[in-house]
Amino acid sequence: MDKVFIEGLEIEALIGIYDWERRIRQTLRFDLEMGFDNRRPAATDAIADTLDYKAVSKRLVEFVGQSDFGLVETLAERCAALVIEEFGVPWLRLKLSKPGAVRGAQAVGVVIERAVQEDH
Whether 64 is covered by a domain: the verdict is: yes
In this structure, are residues 68 and 62 in contact, taking their beta carbons and an 8 Å threshold? no
Whether 120 is covered by a domain: the verdict is: no
Identify the domain containing residue 82 by its residue range: 3-115
Structurally, the chain folds into a number of domains equal to 1
Whether 50 is covered by a domain: the verdict is: yes
Catalytic residue among 54, 58, 95, 98: 98
- Clarify whether 58 is annotated catalytic: no
In this structure, are residues 58 and 78 in contact, taking their beta carbons and an 8 Å threshold? no
Which CATH number covers residue 111? Answer: 3.30.1130.10
Whether 20 is covered by a domain: the verdict is: yes
Whether 51 is covered by a domain: the verdict is: yes
pTM of the entire structure?
A: 0.91
Q: Each residue's pLDDT tens digit in the chain (120 positions)?
A: 899 999 999 999 988 888 887 788 899 999 999 999 999 999 999 999 999 999 999 999 999 999 999 999 999 999 999 999 999 999 999 999 999 888 898 999 999 999 987 654
In this structure, are residues 94 and 119 in contact, taking their beta carbons and an 8 Å threshold? no
